[in-house]
Structure 1
Amino acid sequence: MPTYFSNVGGLPPQTQTLSSKAVFKTAYAVIPKTVMSDIVTSVLPHWEATRAWIISRPLSGFAETFAQYIMEVAPGGGSVRPEPDSRAQAAIFVVEGEGVITCLGEEHPLRAGSFAYIPAGMAWTFRNDGPSAVRFHWVRKKFKVVEGLEPPPPVFTHEDDCVLHPMPDTDGKWATTRFIDPGDVRYDMHLNIVTFEPGAIIPFMETHIMEHGLYVLEGKAVYRLNEDWVEVEAGDYMWLRAYCPQACYAGGPGRFRYLLYKDVNRHPDL
């Protein structure tokens, strides 16, 4: 049964020690769950009864291609004007509660494990009619238009309805849930779930053009980030710059799963 970490907020006690694995470097950053407190939230225009933890944003020396939010919408909250930038596409993944996205005149109920992709320039709304808060990840990225290529359509699905694709020669111990067809070049971003069974590894130092945002949904592991090994667990977030070497060892005792953003299917800007 999938689990999705969603316990953000609160404030540490005055007795809390100040040591932390939080780090900001030129090649990567680690934002652990322990620093995602109430005092680092943002409120956003045209969102009612809502707060956001903005864990990535375009910034010199940090994320270049995307912004990623953890959104918390209280009962009765939501927005009829959620996106201020017509160039921005949205990828949403729900980790707790229920909500509704309305897009192209159709309502799409969401629950934990639901995924939504909304193309740039397409109007949408979000509301929470339920009795409890809904929490979801919202990735915003400026869409890179390609002449002669039609824009991508919206996607609404759930993890339960998606196939878990094992990586070659891993006996299924390392696998990916893909919400968007990786062969469809109309899309210039993906938001996937990567799953490692206990003992599974990334068996080489991945070094590639894709920028990453990784939010740990379940379990714990040690992750190689450039020259460092960092222990991460559910609720921690990692940003990896393009070409930052990475590897992973998921020692257990349970599964290790994270939500993975990457930019894809486009030439680099020159």
Structure 2
Amino acid sequence: MAYPKGLLSNRSIVKKNNYAIISPEGRVNNVVPGFEGCEMTILATPKMGAGFVDYIIKMNPEGKNAKGFGGDGVETFVYCIEGNVTAAADEETFELEAGGYLYCPPDKKMYLENKGQESCRLFLYKKRYEQLDDLKTWVVTGNINEVEYRIYEDMENVLIKDFLPTDLAFDMNMHILAFKPGGCHPFIETHYQEHGAYVLTGEGVYNLDNEWIPVQKEDYLFMSAYSLQAAYGVGRELFSYIYSKDCNRDPEI
């Protein structure tokens, strides 16, 4: 870390229980028990108002979590942004390259290891599973680059991919939403579901609580329940982000 050049500045905005934008220049590495050889930032958490926890990880060569992550009622999901990582659901092992992902149900632990010679970058998520009747989720893995985009809300310049099945057993899903330049949401959304989103490519302008804010690749966004939200894709390339969404459950009272 070098001395700062000029005045300290940061594009991040944090409004607890409403929304947040966390830009790369302000992120701090954390020691998280079980993770070795990792540069790891904790993003959204219950302290921010989220019902889940998101992380961004640079896993160095020989970095790993051999202790296990999740399980005991906590479901987990990992997405490989770049590089390669060996991921396991209990004893079932998968090799994930860029675009690869793994969902572990709440009765299985996730294990991660970088066996390569280069660092890899991971987006990691965990949430306490909300049981519905006697339904059970299952291990889901694949590579999102092998999934075709579909048109979002009948708009040909906005595209979406789904990571998980549309099955009532799942109380959340992961998606990639992508905007061609000039593409936008059909309206400013106000809904019960909350999101954590990591920008993968391009630039956009996001409406958060009726404030239009520029965002770009590697920014992280948190949107709480009922936080107004919508986006435009701007610039010369696809504006895309991976995001989580709780689903398939009736709010408790």
TM-score by length of 1: 0.88
Q: Could you tell me how far 1:12 is from its partner in structure 2?
A: 6.3
Equivalent position of 1:244 in the other structure:
227
234-243 or 45-54: which moved more?
A: 45-54
Number of equivalent positions? 252
Give the Cα–Cα distance (whole angstroms) in 2 for the partners of residues 50 and 244 of structure 1.
33
Counterparts in 2 of 1:32 and 1:123: CA distance versus 1, 3 Å: closer
CA distance in 1, matches of 2:83, 2:133: 40
Residue equivalent to 1:6:
none
Match of 2:200 in 1: 217
- How much has 1:239 moved relative to structure 2? 0.7
2:86 to 96, 100, 103: 100
1:115 aligned residue = 101
Q: Report the Cα distance in structure 2 between the residues aligned to 1:12 and 1:96, rounded to whole angstroms.
A: 26
- Per-residue CA deviations over 1:85-125 (Å, capped at 9, x if unaligned) read 51211111111211111235332001111111001121332
User: Match of 1:160, SS?
Assistant: helix
Aligned to 1:22: 12
Equivalent in the alignment of 1:174: 158
Distance 1:224 1:108, change over 3 A: same
Say if 2:239 is the partner of 1:259.
no
| Equivalent pair of 2:153/2:186 in contact (CA under 8 Å) | no
Q: 1:76 to 1:205 in 2, by over 3 A?
A: same
User: What is the rounded CA distance, in whole Å, between the counterparts of 1:12 and 1:159 in structure 2?
Assistant: 37
| Structure 2 Cα separation of the partners of residues 142 and 70 of structure 1 | 19
Aligned twin of 1:8: none
Q: Identity of aligned pairs, percent?
A: 29
Q: Structure 2 residue aligned with 1:127, among 94, 97, 113?
A: 113
The 8 Å contact of residues 92 and 115 in structure 1, kept in 2 or not, is answered as: yes
Asked whether the 8 Å contact 2:70–2:126 carries over to 1, the reply is no
CA distance in 2 between partners of 1:259 and 1:175 (Å): 12
Q: Specify the alignment match of 2:44 in structure 1.
A: 56
Q: Structure 2-normalised TM-score?
A: 0.94
CA 1:12/1:242 → structure 2, altered by over 3 Å: closer, same or farther?
farther
Q: Letter of the aligned partner of 1:255 in structure 2?
A: L
Structure 1 equivalent of residue 22 of structure 2:
31
Match of 1:234 among 192, 200, 217: 217
Paired AA for residue 35 in structure 1: G
Confirm or deny: 8 A CA contact 1:197 1:252 kept in the other structure: no
Contact 1:210 1:263 in 2 (8 A): yes
Displaced runs of 4 or more, over 3 A: none
Unmatched 5+ stretches in structure 2? none
Looking at structure 2, the residues matched to 32 and 207 of structure 1 have their Cα atoms a distance apart, in angstroms, of 24
Amino acid at match of 1:28: Y
Letter matched to residue 269 of structure 1: E
Whether contact under 8 Å (1:50, 1:74) holds in the other structure is yes
Q: Which has the higher strand share?
A: 2
Whole-Å Cα distance in 1 between the matches of residues 14 and 95 of structure 2? 37
Q: In the aligned structure 2, how far is the partner of 1:205 from the partner of 1:14?
A: 38
Residue 25 of structure 2 aligns to a residue whose secondary structure is helix
Shift of 1:17: 3.1
Question: 2:70 touches 2:76 (CA, 8 Å); kept in 1?
Answer: no
- Work out the CA distance in 2 between the residues paired with 1:77 and 1:254: 33
Q: SS state of the match for residue 196, structure 2? A: strand
Shift of 1:16: 4.2
8 A contact 1:63–1:239 mirrored in 2: no
Aligned to 2:31: 43
Provide Cα deviations, 1:113-168, integer angstroms capped at 9, x if missing partner.
1111001121332111100111101100000011232x111111101221212113
Question: How much does 1:64 deviate?
Answer: 2.8
Paired amino acid for 1:77: G
> How big is the shift at 1:233?
0.4
Counterparts of 2:121 and 2:26, CA distance in 1? 17
Give 1:251 shift: 2.1
Q: Distance in 2 between matches of 1:240 and 1:123?
A: 27
Aligned residue type for 1:144: E
Identify unmatched segments of 5+ residues in structure 1: 1-10
Give the 3-state SS of the residue equivalent to 2:67 in structure 1. Answer: coil
